[in-house]
Amino acid sequence: MVMTDLLAVLVPALPLAGAVLLSALRRKLSATVAGSIATALIAISFVATVILFSGFDTEAGGRTVRILDWLNITGMDIPLALRIDALSLTMMLIVTGVGALIHLYSIGYMHDDERAPTFFAQLNLFSFAMLMLVMGSNFLVTFIGWEGVGLCSYLLIGFWYTKPDYNYAARKAFVMNRIGDVGMVLAMALLFHFLGTLEYAAVMEQAHSIPAWGLLAITLLLFFGATGKSAQIPLFTWLPDAMAGPTPVSALIHAATMVTAGVFLVVRSSVLFDLVPYTRDVILWTGTATALLAATIGLFQNDIKKVLAYSTVSQLGYMFAALGMGAYSAAMFHVTTHAFFKALLFLAAGSVIHALGGEQDIRKMGGLKGSIKITFVTFFIGTIAISGLPLMSGFFSKDLILAHAFQHSPVAFGLLVFGAVLTTFYMFRLLFLVFYGTYRGKAHAHESPLTMTVPLMVLAVLSVVGGALNLPHLFGGHEPMKHFLESAAAAIRSEEIELSASTEWILMGITAVLVFTTIAFAYGRFVKRTTLEGDEADMPLLKRLIAQRWRVDELYAALFEKPYGWLSEHFHSIGELRIMVPLQNGVGEAALRVGNVVRKLQTGNASFHLLAMVAGIILFLVITLLSN
Amino acid sequence: MNEGIITAIRVVPLEHYVILSFLLFSIGIAGVVFRRNTIIILMCLELMFNSVNLLLTAFSAYHSDPRAQVFVFFIMLVAAAEVTVGLAILVMMKRNVDSVDVNQLNRLKW
Amino acid sequence: MLAFFYLFAAISIISALIVVSARSPINSVIALVVCFLSIAGHYILLNAQFLAMVHIIVYTGAIMVLFLFVIMLLNLNKATEPMKTLGTRVAAVLAGGLFFLTLMAAIRHGINITPANEFDPGVGLVRSVGLSLFKEFLLPFEVSSVLFLSAMVGVVMLAKKEKTSPQPLSQVEGLPHDNAPLNKA
């Protein structure tokens, strides 16, 4: 048991050590050495996680490793403790496993950058924060990680800080995340108010004693916090802009790990959410709306990474829709497979960008399948996985969500299927425009080095076979992931699909047929004819609206930025200049004047001071006498 | 003799001692404020010490409690130490400003 | 017996007034010695024989002689003290008088000064005070020796001649004389 505890502490400690070490030696190390150190550390973390996983006994449930007392005041005991259970182990495997591959990939991707050691230090710091987030045994430790990943995300988006646009993107991500964090902080405050503890185990046990309105507020606030991190409506606009960061960052933070933190948080507090059906409905419809909105925007984007970013937002919408239906294990399953194929897609896109010397516009690509074969094959696998072609990982996870949706609400089912069709369309559009047809750019394409292609291949294999992690009964499996997760969240046990086998077959059939039709349509549109998007000004109204991302950014600017700017200006011109400044100066001047008068009392004459002292004593005695 | 003293304590009311020591104390205070010669101010302090001592002793005798007299003893100890230090400061003062007038010590202000 | 009390009280008050008002410091010291002796008489009236002895030895014998020595060594026996202004004198008398009145008011209202215990003729003799001092107050008694030691060291430090700065402070150049020069008086 001591051994397991040690391993559990080691898992987040190694990336932290790496971050400290690399930032201390960032001027001395070369990019390759720094990358190797960072990769090795996170790989060791992964091995430790695997050992923990293999030794984990689902019957025994979770284990809490108390590292040290943190906030231990009367009536408040919040330790710095780690929780090892099925849920955190799943997330730890994703974070360290996919993380290690992305670290490895970054060695090749960043080898020309002179600030590469800093990059790896921040990447390691991110891994540490993410591990704290998933391993924390109470809300506050999770919150450390929650803030930590937000910070690292900010740092890494703005990694190339010489470009002002990137800094704006980083700031936007940070501010949006911070808005969500307010929800999380308030939720924690309410939880502490009602229960006096923030330990997950204790909170879930005593959840029933919270009054209904409290539960409602807590769950809504937690979900609001989750929308910030997981880029859901209304706080999703930062994620596409976050693509300013280096591509491995997009893969690790903005596809595989950090953005799933919201999903993780909801699953962690599933007991609370199970008690409030209203919040679950809110989550379901927010998720569905996000899935559709982001998918439509993805249709007309021309930046290879932006398409993937909107696709990520859309897939996160699917996860939240699943959460809203109480299908926690389905959501976690989709988190896992999504981590595989979306990391793969981002890394492959990075490889394309790398091959073309930094070009990101798909209108200037095309016909690349001959020149960069490994990238093409892996990107292709990623595309069919996310589109949900039968027997790919995305097929199983998305189908599970759709089956739940069908059982839960036909409307949601219809919308989500529509979203899946859109996903297939924009993903194949991307694939066709990048790799098929003729090359429309000028750069000379070259295949990426082995450090970049090996992670691609590993992730491609995982994207294909990832569905086996939770193979449904229909395909002869027995949903191992669901049973594994049951030990962490009891709510999963009641999460059954009660559809008959034939219904499920029909559903799968419908999706498959739709997906194949869409692919054929996309093939005709983009391979036979190579339709490129022109200027936004020439588009018809609706299409232009979509291409301009539904003008959500402009809406937010009009709704929040402008009034805020107006308020700030007036607070400055009236509140600050007319009220506060005169007030402060007045206080200062008054003090000076009073001082000028009073200081004459201080004569420096000893006998005068003696007299004053005697007068004081007399006064004191008189007051004492008069008061009794 | 002993008999006579006992009657003295019985005859003289406690208030008389209280008033006497109050008077001595007030004279001391007036002197501290009144005089400018530092050495006389020190003497007035001694006077005030002694008025307190007298009060303590009077209460001690009327309450039949010897502990107050031990306190008087300690006050005498402290007073002796205080006087030596005070007189040393006086010597310093005389040497430095060539005067024992407290009004010469007006550097307590900037 | 009451007559003795009034006698000693009158002597102590009058000598105290002389202490305050005498022009020459020597006269003040002599008056203070008389005052202390009368207070010693009070101690004897109060049956505090031990205190009376210690009082005469410590105050009259040691402290007052110290005063006399300082006056002699510093050659202060000249009535050079400039009188204070009338306002200050009035203020001083007022301060003392008000203080006395306040204290009187205190014992008139509220503060109980009636004796509580039975009379014990042994209290105040060397035996009872000594027992109390060496049983109950042994530690403070021992600690007071440390106080004396530090006072002694301090006095030596203060009173020894400084080699570096022989001239009076008022004549040292460069000291700030912004508001009130030292030699103004």
Residue A614 forms contact with B (CB below 8 Å): yes
B4 has pLDDT over 60: no
The strand pair at A76-84 and A63-73 is best described as antiparallel
How far does CA A163 lie from the centroid of its chain? 24
The 10s digit of each residue's pLDDT in A409-422 is 889 999 999 999 99
C36 has pLDDT over 90: yes
Higher pLDDT, A77 or C162: A77
Q: What is the pLDDT of residue A143?
A: 93
Confidence of residue C178 (pLDDT cuts 50, 70, 90): very low
The 10s digit of each residue's pLDDT in C7-24 is 999 999 999 999 988 888
Look at residues A81, A79, A75, A80 and name the one whose alpha carbon lies nearest to residue A63: A81
Q: How far apart are CA A424 and CA A388, in angstroms?
A: 8
Q: How far apart are CA B9 and CA B62, in angstroms?
A: 7
Please name the chains neighbouring B, where neighbouring means 3+ C-beta pairs under 8 angstroms: A, C
Cβ-Cβ pairs closer than 8 A, A with C, add up to 27
Domain B2-98 carries which CATH code?
Answer: 1.10.287.3510
Partner residue facing B33 (CB), from C2, C92, C131: C92
Partner residue facing B109 (CB), from A604, A610, A611: A604
Half-sphere exposure of B52 (CA within 13 A, CB side): 14
3-state SS string over C136-173?
CCHHHHHHHHHHHHHHHHHHHHHHCCCCCCCCCHHHCC
Please name the chains neighbouring A, where neighbouring means 3+ C-beta pairs under 8 angstroms: B, C
**Is B109 within 8 Å of A614 when comparing Cβ atoms?**
no
**Is B30 within 8 Å of C158 when comparing Cβ atoms?**
no
Average pLDDT over residues A310-337: 92
Assign residue C124 a region: left if phi > 0, alpha if psi is -120 to 50, beta otherwise?
left
Report the chain A residue with the minimal C-alpha distance to residue B34.
Answer: A607
Q: How far apart are CA A9 and CA A45, in angstroms?
A: 10
Average pLDDT over residues A274-290: 92
Q: What is the DSSP letter of A528?
A: I
Average pLDDT over residues A597-607: 79
Q: How far apart are CA A165 and CA A168, in angstroms?
A: 5
Instruction: Retrieve residue C103's tokens.
Output: 């204290």
Q: How far apart are CA A270 and CA A273, in angstroms?
A: 5
**Is C1 within 8 Å of B101 when comparing Cβ atoms?**
no
C185 has pLDDT over 50: no
Confidence of residue A348 (pLDDT cuts 50, 70, 90): very high
Half-sphere exposure of A619 (CA within 13 A, CB side): 6
3-state SS string over B72-106?
HHHHHHHHHHHHHHHHHHHHHHHHHHCCCEHHHCC
Residue A610 forms contact with B (CB below 8 Å): yes
Residue C174 forms contact with B (CB below 8 Å): no
Q: CA of B56 to nearest chain A CA: how many angstroms apart? A: 19
Q: What is the DSSP letter of C81?
A: P
C1 has pLDDT over 80: no
Higher pLDDT, C122 or A157: A157
Q: What is the pLDDT of residue C31?
A: 93
**Is A610 within 8 Å of B36 when comparing Cβ atoms?**
no
Cβ-Cβ contacts under 8 Å, A616 against chain B: none
Mutate to test the interface with C, among A602, A614, A619, A626 (most CBs of C within 10 A): A614
Q: What is the pLDDT of residue A439?
A: 84
Q: What is the pLDDT of residue B1?
A: 46
Residue A531 forms contact with B (CB below 8 Å): no
C118 has pLDDT over 80: no
Residue A580 forms contact with C (CB below 8 Å): no
Beta bridge partners of A68: A80
Report the chain B residue with the minimal C-alpha distance to residue A611.
Answer: B33
Cβ-Cβ pairs closer than 8 A, B with C, add up to 276
Residue given tokens 């909170």 in the structure block: A203
Instruction: Retrieve residue A181's tokens.
Output: 């964090």
Long-range residue pairs from A477-483, CB within 8 A, at least 24 positions apart, any chain? A479/A329, A481/A90, A481/A329, A481/A332, A481/A333, A481/A336, A482/A329, A482/A333, A483/A58
Length of chain A as a residue count: 628
Residue A602 forms contact with B (CB below 8 Å): yes
Average pLDDT over residues C131-143: 90
Residue A558 forms contact with C (CB below 8 Å): no
- Residue A585 and residue A578 in contact, taking contact as beta carbons nearer than 8 Å: no
- Residue B22 and residue C100 in contact, taking contact as beta carbons nearer than 8 Å: yes
Q: Which phi and psi angles does C118 have, rounded to 5°?
A: -70, 150
Look at residues A264, A254, A195, A253 and name the one whose alpha carbon lies nearest to residue A223: A264
Cβ-Cβ contacts under 8 Å, A614 against chain C: 95, 99
Confidence of residue C177 (pLDDT cuts 50, 70, 90): very low
Higher pLDDT, A536 or A371: A371
Residue A621 forms contact with C (CB below 8 Å): yes
Cβ-Cβ contacts under 8 Å, A615 against chain C: 95
Q: How far apart are CA C44 and CA C42, in angstroms?
A: 5
Partner residue facing A607 (CB), from B102, B107, B109: B102
Cβ-Cβ contacts under 8 Å, A625 against chain C: 102, 105-106, 109-110
Partner residue facing A611 (CB), from C91, C103, C110: C91
C50 has pLDDT over 70: yes
Q: How far apart are CA A429 and CA C10, in angstroms?
A: 119
Cβ-Cβ contacts under 8 Å, B102 against chain A: 605-607
Q: What is the pLDDT of residue C45?
A: 86
The 10s digit of each residue's pLDDT in B24-35 is 999 998 888 888
**Is B96 within 8 Å of C107 when comparing Cβ atoms?**
no
Residue type, A225: G
Report the chain B residue with the minimal C-alpha distance to residue C63.
Answer: B80
Cβ-Cβ contacts under 8 Å, C180 against chain A: 604
Instruction: Retrieve residue A313's tokens.
Output: 């937002």
Instruction: Retrieve residue A110's tokens.
Output: 């960043």
**Is B109 within 8 Å of A609 when comparing Cβ atoms?**
no
Residue C172 forms contact with B (CB below 8 Å): no
Give the mean pLDDT of chain B.
Answer: 83
**What is the helix (H) or strand (E) element at residue A68, kind and residue range?**
strand A63-73
Give the mean pLDDT of chain A.
Answer: 88
Of A170-179, A440-449, B63-72, the range with the lowest mean pLDDT is A440-449
**Is A621 within 8 Å of C95 when comparing Cβ atoms?**
no
- Would you say the C-alpha torsion A452, A455, A457, A463 has a positive or negative sign? negative
Average pLDDT over residues C144-154: 90
- Residue A117 and residue A20 in contact, taking contact as beta carbons nearer than 8 Å: no
Cβ-Cβ contacts under 8 Å, C58 against chain B: 76, 80
The 10s digit of each residue's pLDDT in A50-63 is 999 988 887 777 88
Q: What is the pLDDT of residue A225?
A: 92
Q: How far apart are CA A360 and CA A434, in angstroms?
A: 10
B54 has pLDDT over 70: yes
Average pLDDT over residues C91-107: 82
Chain A, 196 to 225: residues with Cβ < 8 Å from chain B are: none
Q: How far apart are CA A181 and CA A147, in angstroms?
A: 8
Q: What is the pLDDT of residue C181?
A: 45
Residue type, A535: D
Q: How far apart are CA A28 and CA A17, in angstroms?
A: 17
Look at residues C7, C132, C41, C135 and name the one whose alpha carbon lies nearest to residue B64: C132
Cβ-Cβ contacts under 8 Å, A601 against chain C: none
Q: What is the pLDDT of residue A448?
A: 82
Q: What is the DSSP letter of A71?
A: E
Residue given tokens 């995300």 in the structure block: A153
Cβ-Cβ contacts under 8 Å, C88 against chain A: 607, 611
A10 has pLDDT over 80: yes
Report the chain B residue with the minimal C-alpha distance to residue C136.
Answer: B67
**Is B90 within 8 Å of C66 when comparing Cβ atoms?**
no
- Would you say the C-alpha torsion A596, A600, A604, A606 has a positive or negative sign? negative
Q: How far apart are CA C97 and CA C102, in angstroms?
A: 9
Residue A607 forms contact with B (CB below 8 Å): yes
**Is A621 within 8 Å of C92 when comparing Cβ atoms?**
no
- Residue B67 and residue B60 in contact, taking contact as beta carbons nearer than 8 Å: yes
Confidence of residue C114 (pLDDT cuts 50, 70, 90): low
The 10s digit of each residue's pLDDT in A73-89 is 888 888 999 999 889 99
Instruction: Retrieve residue A594's tokens.
Output: 């009073």
Q: What is the pLDDT of residue A93?
A: 93
- Residue A439 and residue A367 in contact, taking contact as beta carbons nearer than 8 Å: yes
Q: What is the pLDDT of residue C184?
A: 40
Neighbouring residues of A376: CB distance < 8 A, sequence distance ≥ 6 = A368, A369, A435
Q: What is the pLDDT of residue C182?
A: 45
A462 has pLDDT over 60: yes
Burial class for C56, CB neighbours closer than 10 Å (0-12, 13-18, 19+): middle
**Is B105 within 8 Å of A614 when comparing Cβ atoms?**
no
Residue B20 forms contact with A (CB below 8 Å): no
A141 has pLDDT over 90: yes
The 10s digit of each residue's pLDDT in A469-482 is 888 888 877 888 88
- ipTM of the complex, rounded to two decimals: 0.88
Q: What is the pLDDT of residue C49?
A: 87
Q: How far apart are CA A121 and CA A238, in angstroms?
A: 23
Please give the full DSSP string across A183-247, using - where no structure is assigned: HHHHHHHHHHHHHS--BHHHHHHHGGGS-HHHHHHHHHHHHHHHHHHTT-TTS-THHHHGGGS-H
Q: Which phi and psi angles does C168 have, rounded to 5°?
A: -60, 150
Q: What is the pLDDT of residue C179?
A: 46
Highest mean pLDDT among A218-227, B3-12, C73-82, C121-130: A218-227
Q: What is the pLDDT of residue A2?
A: 77
Chain C, 16 to 55: residues with Cβ < 8 Å from chain B are: 16-17, 19-20, 25, 28-29, 32, 35-36, 39, 42-48, 50-51, 54-55
- Residue A423 and residue A386 in contact, taking contact as beta carbons nearer than 8 Å: yes
Higher pLDDT, C179 or A79: A79
In whole angstroms, how far apart are CA A237 and each of A179, A215, A303?
13, 28, 16
Q: CA of A587 to nearest chain B CA: how many angstroms apart? A: 24
**Is A607 within 8 Å of C91 when comparing Cβ atoms?**
no
Stated pTM of the model: 0.68
SS3 label, residue A79 = strand
Q: How far apart are CA C36 and CA C31, in angstroms?
A: 9
Share of chain A above pLDDT 90, in %: 44
Please give the full DSSP string across A244-306, using - where no structure is assigned: GS-HHHHHIIIIISGGGHHHHHHHHTHHHHHT-HHHHHHHHHHHHHHHHHHHHHHTT--BHHH
Confidence of residue A223 (pLDDT cuts 50, 70, 90): very high
Q: What is the pLDDT of residue A46?
A: 93
- Residue A12 and residue A41 in contact, taking contact as beta carbons nearer than 8 Å: no
Confidence of residue A530 (pLDDT cuts 50, 70, 90): confident
Half-sphere exposure of A165 (CA within 13 A, CB side): 6
Report the chain A residue with the minimal C-alpha distance to residue B103.
Answer: A605
Please name the chains neighbouring C, where neighbouring means 3+ C-beta pairs under 8 angstroms: A, B
